[in-house]
Every structure is written in structure tokens, then in C-alpha cells.
Amino acid sequence: MPTPLVVSDVAKSFTMHLRDGIRLPVVANVSFSIKAGECAVLGGPSGAGKSSILKMVYGNYAVDRGQIIVPYGDRLVDLASADPRTVLGVRRDMIGYVSQFLRTVPRVSALDVVAEPLVARGIDRTEARDKAAALLAGLNLPERLWSLPPATFSGGEQQRVNIARGFITDHPILLLDEPTASLDAKNREVVVSMIRSKKEAGIAMLGIFHDEDVREAVADRIIDVTAFAVQSEAA
């Protein structure tokens, strides 16, 4: 799987239904590929469409045109046109995602939140919890917090749970949306080390990093999102 992610001629716009259906283009002609073991970083100012591109790759946003090709089972799948069941299967087996915000479930412990992606893939719960514990320890989350729901945590503590959950699997593709936001310098270095380990394991990563030091430490290549800019029809 030398190139597990190929994005070709993708375009995205939003329709403002409360403003007479005004169409607001976001990006167009988005084309790039990510190789196994590579960390490519989306670069550009806020509002350029970096997060929208990540969400399209993950299948959260529909696309207006183009293809997002990933391997799935014994075939290639176009996430831009795949049915919802296939998108969910690709997420389970192929694509990990560390978002800026942790979606927590009430009364579920941090340990189980982190372990859940492995359990969903059929891994024994005890084994999954052991791996979750190792990740949380590596990210310096106090053990006294592991049995508590992350909804009660600080922003930095929640982000460490979020990172552990995203990194616990060996998905061939990993999307990173500001994973070091809310982290102190010590834990930023931990995340940089985790990203390097994923690269060595052959994981293809696409990320957004506003922290310049982290970006320089992990990026093999910068994809300039301003090259995909389009003028708004409402301008």
C-alpha cells in the first residue's frame, strides 16, 4: 500500500439556505496524494479550508466533485461517492482521526474512551484497555483520572485522551487536526515522538499544525491550501 490516500480534483462549497441559497465556494481543484510513512501538512491561513479538506477525507463533509480514493478490503473506494455503510467501514478499518475536540459519552471512563476503537475492531477488551493505559501514561495523564469521564477534564487533559484514542489503532491513514492544541511543551514533545513512530510504522498522515515548531519537526511536505482557493460568488 505505497500510496493509501489519493485526492483528485476535489471541490467543496456551502449553500447558505437562510440567505436565499447563496453558494459559498470553499476550495476547488484539490489534488494530492499521501505515501505510506509520510506526514504531509496542510498549510495556509485560517479560513483557507484546511479543516474542510480533512473533514472531506474523513467523509464528514460531502464534496461537490472529485475523488478521494483509499484502499478498503480488496478494492479501492471513492469516499466522495461511497454509501454511508462503506464510509463507516473505511473509518473503522482504514482512517484514524484526531480532531480538535473530544466527543465524550457520559459515565464512560477515559480508559474505555481510548480503548473503544480497538474493541470496535474485535480486540479483546482487556488487551485494548492495557494498550489504552500505556498511551495515557505516556501522555502523562494522571492514573487517578483514567476511571473518570473525560467530560470533567481540563482542555489539555481532554486533548491527551483524544490523542491516545486516535493513536491506539494501526489505521493505514491518520488525520491530525491540531493535535497539540492545549498541550504544554512536555506533552507536545510526546506527540511529536508518537508521530515519528507512526511514520516509522508506515502510516500515512495528513495534518494541520499551527504550532510552527511541531510542524517543522514532523512535516515531510507542506501542501499549500491557498493554491486551492476560489472566489466567493457572494463577493
For 6, phi then psi, to 5°, come to -130, 120
Burial 145-161 (b: 16+ CB within 10 A, else e): bbeebbeebeeebbbbb
Residue range 40-65: mean pLDDT, rounded:
94
pLDDT, residue 35, reads 97
pTM summary value: 0.92
What is the signed CA dihedral for 183, 189, 195, 196, rounded to 10 degrees? 170
Cβ-contact 208, 42 below 8 angstroms: yes
Would you place residue 234 in the very low, low, confident or very high pLDDT band (cuts 50, 70, 90)?
A: very low
Unique residue bearing C-alpha cell 481540563: 154
Grid coordinates of 179: 493535535
Kindly report the average pLDDT of the chain as a whole number.
93
Residue range 64-68: mean pLDDT, rounded:
97
Residue type, 69: I
Between CA 179 and CA 166 the distance in angstroms is 10
Would you place residue 59 in the very low, low, confident or very high pLDDT band (cuts 50, 70, 90)?
A: very high
| Window from 101-105, 106-110, 192-196, 206-210 with minimum mean pLDDT | 101-105
What is the set of domains in the chain, with CATH numbers? 35-61+93-228 (3.40.50.300)
Cβ-contact 5, 33 below 8 angstroms: yes
pLDDT tens-place string over residues 72-93 = 999 999 999 999 999 999 999 9
Cβ-contact 228, 45 below 8 angstroms: no
